Amino acid sequence: TQLLEQSPQFLSIQEGENLTVYCNSSSVFSSLQWYRQEPGEGPVLLVTVVTGGEVKKLKRLTFQFGDARKDSSLHITAAQPGDTGLYLCAGAQGGSEKLVFGKGMKLTVNP
Amino acid sequence: GAGVSQSPSNKVTEKGKDVELRCDPISGHTALYWYRQRLGQGLEFLIYFQGNSAPDKSGLPSDRFSAERTGESVSTLTIQRTQQEDSAVYLCASSLVGTAYGYTFGSGTRLTVV
């Protein structure tokens, strides 16, 4: 059973399009993080959200943490080829020092 | 160092052989984590170190897997009698203030068991 479900799992779009990635769970998380991973590299932290309802913006990326702290979304505006990669959400649960990861969403942005 | 360093970057080994994977965390990071990433799968937690103790080793798949850490520095993940299902990318991460504020990952070791 996957604790964090990401959708879609794959997305191929044209440069300039918008997209949203979802990360859902039936469990509550004390914080949720988004990472981007490129081939042959480790994941790189994009953002951490800790408060239910929190919205964070990072240039063209907008991250939202659900009010109940069970889900999150990542919205990319005007996608660029440099956005191509595997987007992973990861959750931390109170009392545990390990992150639980979703399987990721593989994004390809075509020029 | 400036980042988390892992070695080797690639390792091909014969089934049944032992392998050692090394992780050099960011200086001063007390927390260190090992994860495994199999093709098409999410990151699978293996073990967590705080200093040189391992409060959570619940993710180690079998007794063929072990890990140690020297002080708040280098960690080694050892896989004995490797099997083909051990083929994966093994990722190490370190953190200064704990899980809630994110990890810094190394580039991983790609292990192939033939």
What one-character-per-residue DSSP string does A49-110 give?
Answer: E-STT-EEEETTEEEEE-TTSSEEEEEESS--GGG-EEEEEEEE-TT--SEEE---EEEEEE
Q: Would you state the pLDDT for residue A76? A: 97
Check B56 against A96: CB less than 8 A apart.
Answer: yes
pLDDT-derived band of residue B106, with 50, 70 and 90 as boundaries? very high
Rounded distance, CA B67 to CA B71, Å?
13
Q: Is B30 on the interface with A (CB under 8 A)?
A: no
Q: Which of B50, B98, B102 sits opposite A45 (nearest CB)?
A: B102
Say if A66 is an interface residue toward chain B (CB within 8 Å). Answer: no
What is the per-residue pLDDT for A3? 84
- Identify the pLDDT of residue B15: 98
Is B100:B1 a contact under the CB 8 Å cutoff? no
Share of chain B above pLDDT 70, in %: 96
Q: What is the pLDDT of residue B98?
A: 67
User: Cβ contacts (< 8 Å) between B101 and chain A: which residues?
Assistant: 31, 48
| Residue-level pLDDT at A95 | 73
Q: Using CA atoms, how far apart are residues A89 and B102, in angstroms rounded to an integer?
A: 11
Confidence of residue B99 (pLDDT cuts 50, 70, 90): low
Q: Which of B42, B100, B107 sits opposite A101 (nearest CB)?
A: B42
Q: Which residue of A has its CA nearest to B55?
A: A97
The residue ranges of chain A whose pLDDT is under 50 are none
Does residue B55 surpass a pLDDT of 80?
A: yes
Across A47-51, A73-77, B52-56, B99-103, least confident range:
B99-103
The pLDDT of residue A5 is 94
Q: What is the dihedral of CA A8, A87, A103, B105, to 10 degrees?
A: 180
Residue of chain A minimizing CA distance to B91: A42
Residue B45's nearest CA partner among A106, A45, A33, A90 is A90
Mean pLDDT of all residues in B14-30: 95
Separation between Cα atoms, residue B70 and residue A100, nearest integer Å = 26
- Report the C-alpha gap between A20 and B33 in whole angstroms: 29
- Any CB–CB contact under 8 A between B25 and chain A? no
| Cβ–Cβ below 8 Å for A101 and B43 | yes
Check residue A105 and give its pLDDT: 96
CB atoms within 10 A of CB B54: 18
pLDDT band at B85 (very low <50, low <70, confident <90, very high): very high
At residue B61 the predicted structure's pLDDT band, cuts being 50, 70 and 90, is: very high
Residue B101: count other Cβ atoms within 10 Å of its Cβ: 14
Residue B95: helix, strand or coil by DSSP? strand
Whether B30 and B38 have beta carbons less than 8 Å apart is answered as no
Residue keyed to tokens 């649960």: A93
Chain B residue with CA closest to A10: the answer is B40
Pairwise CB contact (< 8 Å): A43 & B43: yes
| Residue B41: pLDDT band with limits 50, 70, 90 | confident
Q: Which residues of B are less than 8 Å from A98 in CB distance?
A: 33, 45, 48, 56, 59, 99
Nearest-neighbour CA in chain B from A109: distance (Å): 20
**Which residues in A lie closer than 8 A to residue B93 (C-beta atoms)?**
42
Mean of the per-residue pLDDT values of chain B: 93
pLDDT at A98 (0 to 100): 85
